Structure 1
Amino acid sequence: MFATLPSNMEQLSGVIDEDVSRSYQTMKKNTGGELVFRRNDRSSYLFLSLSISEEKERLYYHTSALDTIARRNRVVFKPSFMYDCSDGKKSIRLYYYMQSQTPDFFSIMPYSDNSNPLAVRVNNPDLENSLYHHYDVNIRFNGLKNQQYIGFFATGNFYHNLVGTRTTYNSQTGGYTYMSDNIGGGGNWDFWTTTSYGVALDKARLFRLDYRLWFNGLRRKDFDIAYDDNSTQLCYVLRTELGNSLYFKYQKDKLSINLGGKVEWKHGTSDRSNFEKLNAYDFEYGGNMTYTLPLGISLSTDLKEYCRRGYSEKSFNTSDLVWNASLARSFCKGKLTLKAEPLIFFRISRAPCMRWAARARPRNGTIRCQAMRCCI
């Protein structure tokens, strides 16, 4: 690495924009402790952690208008909790933790980057910490009559004081000004839940039914563009999904057959006037089969129809029939597997279209067939 000689510093200063250039050095020091409670026995496990630390930070900050040393202190609290209970008939698992995020020290120092007058970036000295909460719930009951099981799973996140970007547009200059700021309070969250149920349909337990019901949601609140003023305008987007699936399974010796399908409804909305709402659903149905041939060769095949309906863009409302198959053989006690797909893979797509002719009605349902031959 070559050093810069003093005689070259004057030439170097000619290419540096002192108005937007800055330099900084930071030093951090963390001290703290953690209180942990743990209990473990044959069928359950309990864990509780309370972590508290003090963070001290010193920043040497230099710009053309400011040369200073800044300091800040903060206390960080990070709790976490986990409970796990399991026996032959049930299992319960609960988990929670919280985290905080502090903006970088140099990002809250006075600074404005106007090197591009159409895209000015301004620091916000009033940025606050953000909080993040996460949870997991998993409950399952086994060992019921006819191999029944009931399960429930939920996971999600809550966000407090998330950092977004405030955007202000100046109609006279055509320029934008960007500044990071906190989304006050909550308003941002997401979750996923699933309920499942399964049961054997006969005494020999060859036939089985499995059902799943799920509900997911996501909400995001963020800054909208402000025109010719500095007012804070917030908007939100909410998306939910509700779906369920039902499958019948048959398994005996070397043969396994699975028939069923699923449907999922999707809904999206917002308080923006130019937002196009989503109210559509996707569904699929079909089956698959697996059979073990002589010499340990496994034959797998499936045939499914994938459909989408309710989208405002007509090209998204499609129906695709897909069929494929494969052969597989394991060697070296399962460490090596050879898989081949010598059969033809068919995909038939049916998308709505219009064909006009004299004295004829519009006809829907052009069929496109694609075939692909591959081998792995």
Structure 2
Amino acid sequence: MQCSYFDAHACRSCTLIEVPYADQVRDKEERCAELLSAHTGLQWLPSVRSPQEGYRNKAKMVVGGTAAAPTFGILDAEGRGVDLRGCGVIAPGIREVLPVLARFVTRAGIAPYDVPRRRGELKHVLVTESPTGELMVRFVLRTDGPVARIREHLPALLANLPRLVVVTANLLPEHKAVVEGDVDIPLTERTTLAMPLGGIALDLRPQSFFQTNTRVAQELYAQVARWVDEIGPASVWDLYCGVGGFALHCAAPGRRVVGIEVSAEAVESARHAARDLPDVEFAAGDATRFALESTEVPDLVVVNPPRRGIGPDLAGWLETSGVRHVVYSSCNPVTLAKDLEAMPSLRPVRGRVLDMFPHTAHVEVAVLLERVVAPR
């Protein structure tokens, strides 16, 4: 993939963009295989490849410049805005609305946040596109001062962008390197974005996590669901469940599924999506604490932790719990390998690399584990 921003050294985020895509995937396969090479019985399925362009369903644009001429992209080393509206990995449906949103910022007179001087208001514009083309836009502000102006000009924006169905103002008063704050002010009647995926109607609220690559996410959920259906467990836990993607894809008549997620916002999204499924329930809480305090042990556990992995406490519980099967979806094969070392009674039998982030070193890998030694 050719990128003028990369060639001009304006943005170097896609560190592998000059590497042929087939080589990128092969290198990720080899890296995962090497990290898990101690597990000799592991069968690797063919990798899932991604489109090389337009695969990101979410754009996290740092806003710079001025209200009259805002930039959407990143900041350079001096804190000045670098405009990346034409970024090739962002979904075309998002790219086409970024100029419209930039004009909205100008009309509403919202001053971009000046990082070096700690002045201004608008820090980020976050845009998410659903598989149906609907959009969620979040304006990340230093204070709620501009909210009235956003409300004033919002009807014209909605008329101009009929695909735009969810708009919020997110408040991030602190001066720190994070994308969003804790408070979202809804500005539209709808507050959730429907994310239909593989026949499952997921719901996405403003602060809920969703996989960035829709096509590869669909393959990931489908693969895990196939493994689970082959085993046929009567009970499943989905730990770190997010908006319930794995739990809902693994649901089946007579199968009790419980999803645990620390984000209450994500849990509300998951509950809404599961409203017609009596055997599926979700709760907000810490995944490790839930497992350690539970008096029940399910037949199968799905874990999809952040990059730090599940950690020694949850790995220790899985090792001694008697759980027959575990499906581990990892965005960091290094911590995956470390966690597997702490669960020697659970043997990886199948694995699959899923290239969620082309042109970068990041990779998703899913592994099916089965118990080979009874717990002590």
TM-score past 0.5 threshold: no
Structure whose CA Rg is larger: 1
Specify which structure has the bigger relative contact order, considering alpha-carbon pairs within 8 angstroms and separated by 6 or more residues: 2
More helix by share: 2
TM-score in terms of structure 1 length = 0.23
TM-score, normalised relative to structure 2 = 0.23
More strand by share: 1
